[in-house]
Structures are given as structure tokens and as C-alpha cells.
Amino acid sequence: MKSRGDVWVFLGIVFALPWLLRGLEVVTGTRFLYWAIMVSVAVATWVAARYFWRPAEGVARATSILPVRPWHRTLGWCGLAFVLFVVMSAAAVALNAVTGIYPVDLDGFSALRDVYAPDTAGRTGVPWDLIGQALVANLGQFVLILPLAFYEEWGWRGYLLNRLREPLGTWPAMILIGVICGVWHMPGFVPAGADGLWPLLPFTVFCVFFGVLLGWLRLASGSIWPAVVGHAVNNTVVFSFVQVVVADKAAEDRIDGWLTGLSGWQGLVIMSIPIAVLAVRTRRSPGVGIENRQG
């Protein structure tokens, strides 16, 4: 069996840095963990790939950063990833509303007004101007977070997926990476408050489905860039989508990770559909997403 010592180096760095950064937050009283831990994945990837794995074809190709040509194909997959996550989020919120689990307000858009125009609270009708503001704000956040999403995806779906597929198989590798990602987020759940670390469990289940979907996007396209776009749009536009339709701020505070949004059972069912389609498509396309892997 070929050596995978670089994987252990990667895991050691990627788990140690977030806890060190969390300690710095506590000591300094500042808050930078959200973006800093995403950077830590890139640090772990670079050290493990550049100094321990040393792939013959170069780090960029071995971790699926390259090639990106033909451009129209890569851009097409990136566009699909963007639209896919927005549509899935809308479908999940719709199912939440139909089942009565997560009430929505399509008459007054109270939570949207609470965020963008508190002085309009209580008014009815569709506030197109506020919806436009929310869209522009979230698209701006999407652009800003793209580099951070790249840092993560370079590690999870660029480096680690390529390194684990050969010894474990594609499905086990993607599921294991999803579990690793969920547990890796633990410093962000500390201090955990009254609920303890319990919310980490549904979040980890979501990370498995989310990671498998990003993994198949990566394999079907042969590039990490669609996964980067999917990750970024999930952390911005999708995450904030609920503000457009949620009934009120109090309802948002009652969100149960097992029941609402893409992390709820509705969202998991919805994500399973494109996962199945991409898995079938990839397996029916010989050579798609297959990299030269070095031991």
C-alpha cells in the first residue's frame, strides 16, 4: 500500500490550528475564527502536498486546481453549482412552510424588514427594494467569501478527496471527509451555550450530505471550482435566504437543525437528488474527474 503519511500531516495541522486560533480569540477578546480556520485548511494542504506528498504532476494539477480549460465548461459547472444550491434552499424552505415546521411570511416579510429596514416593521406587501438590497448584499458577500471557500475546498475536495479515493473508494472517502469537516468545526461551537455541543451533530450530518454533493460536483467537472462556488453560495446567499421569507426574528431563533433548511430532513432529501444524478453521470463518463494519483 502506498504511503499516505502526508494525509496524517494534513489532519494534524488542520485540527490543531483551529483550536490554537480559538485560544487566541479567548485570550485577545477578538473574533476572527470564522475566516481564520478556513485559511488553516489551505495551510495544511500546502504543507502536506508541497513538502510531504510531492506529486509528480505538480500540486495545482494533483489537487484539481488545474486544468480549468475549456473555460466555458468550467464556468458552466460553476453556474450549475450556484443555481443548484439556491434552488435547493428554496425547495427546503418551501417544504418547511408546507409542513408547518418553519413559518414563513410572504405578506409582510417581517424578518427581512427587521434586518434591512426596521422602520418599516408592520407593513404589508412585497418590499422589492429590500429584496434587491438583500440580493446585492449577499452577492457582495458571495464574491468576498470566494477566496475563503477556495481555501477549504482546496483541502477537502482538492487534496484530501484525491488522496483518500484510492485506498478507500469514492463513496467512503467523501462520507469520511464530511464527518471530518463536521468535527473540524467544533471550535466554532465552543462555548456551546445551553444546548451544549448537541447542535454539532445535525451540523455534521449536513456536512456529510453537503460534502458528498460538493465531491460529486468536483468529480463530474474534473475541477474544484464548482465546489468552491457551491460552498461560497451556501455560506452567503443560501444561508441568508431564510431572511426573505421567515415569519419573524423569533421564529428564526427557534430553528432546529434537524428540521429546517438544508440541514433538516427536507434539505437532506433534496440534496440526495442531485447527489444521485451526479454520481450516475460521473460513473457513466469514463475518465471524468480521474486524476493521476501519486503514492
Compute CA distances 291 → 63, 171, 199, 222, 233, whole Å.
9, 16, 36, 8, 26
pLDDT of residue 193: 54
Residue 37 in domain: no
Residue 277 domain-assigned? yes
Give residue 293's pLDDT: 44
What domain range is 239 assigned to?
69-283
Mean pLDDT of residues grouped by 10 in the chain (295 residues)? Answer: 84 95 86 84 97 95 88 92 92 80 76 82 84 87 94 97 93 97 90 69 93 95 95 86 57 61 84 93 62 44
Question: What pLDDT score was predicted for residue 81?
Answer: 96
In a domain, 182, yes or no: yes
Q: Is position 18 within any domain?
A: no
Residues in the chain: 295
Name which of 219, 212, 231 is nearest 274 in CA terms.
212
Whether 197 contacts 50, CB under 8 Å: no
How high is the pLDDT of residue 177? 98
Residue 186's identity, in one-letter code, is M
Amino acid 169: pLDDT? 94
Instruction: Assess if residue 222 is contained within a domain.
Output: yes
**Three-state DSSP class for 293?**
coil
**Which of 157, 126, 137, 124 shows the shortest CA–CA distance to 231?**
157
d(CA 216, CA 197): 29
- Four-CA torsion 139, 143, 149, 151, nearest 10 degrees: -170
Instruction: Give burial (CB, 10 Å; 0-12/13-18/19+) of 215.
Output: buried
Longest Cα–Cα distance in the chain: 66
Question: Is there a domain that residue 10 lies in?
Answer: no
CA triple 171-177-183, angle to 5 deg: 140
Domain count, the chain: 1
Q: Enter the pTM of the model.
A: 0.88
Residue 92 in any domain: the answer is yes
For residue 209, being part of any structural domain is answered with yes
The pLDDT value recorded for residue 290 is 46
